[in-house]
Structure 1
Amino acid sequence: MSGPTEDERLRVQQLRALRRRWLRDQELSPREPVLPPQRLGPVAAFWERFLQPGDPWRQQVHKFYQGGSFVLLRVLLPAWAITYFLKYHVRKSPHGVVVANPRIFPGDRILETGEIMPPLKDEHHRHH
């Protein structure tokens, strides 16, 4: 009894068949991988249909759109946000505050005429 028994040989044969089948199952067929259809958003779907024929002018329109969106999102909006923040949150004097008619108090000199404002008349009222 030096060799494997009949049961052991049958077991080894079954294991080899299972391994071969498993390896065959790991190979992809030309149809695989089967992925679900990609759902595009409305803008991406438009450009997908628009660029389908591949006319040169369509490519130019797409390049112009890509460049414009880059400039808008990466240059203009950040520049506007920075300007807004600096203008309304960092500056010491608020934007748009114009002193058109400065208050004039008694004793002040009016620059245009050189006249000095006289003191206010004391008004005596019955109440405090």
Structure 2
Amino acid sequence: MSGSAEDERLRVQQLRALRRRWLRDQELSPREPVLPPRQLGTVGAFWERFLQPGGLWRQQVHKAYQTGSFVMLRVLLPAWAITYFLKYHLQKTPHGVVVTNPRIFPGDRILETGEIMPPLKEDPHGHH
């Protein structure tokens, strides 16, 4: 009976040794991975340099984006909303309407003088 327990113990010990060796084999040495050098085209090389952390262009683009979003969200959109509200909700006359003197037709009374406009002269030709 002790033979089967010894075999079981030996099997478990061998399995542990195999697992340890497998885990040790999974560790990479400082020289790995050995990859061939990448051949980038002109556009790829530009973006590789451009997107490196801490690059000057990257900082400038980020700063321009931050400024643009601030101006858009804090200045332009509120100004547009206020202008829209004032133009279409608070003004008494609609925007762009020019108040002119009304046309005067025959038979109308001119308010300033009280004069009544005479009828138009008939056209002697008789065509319309």
The bucket for the TM-score relative to the shorter chain is: 0.3 to 0.5
Q: Which has the larger radius of gyration?
A: 2
**TM-score w.r.t. structure 2 length?**
0.47
**TM-score w.r.t. structure 1 length?**
0.47
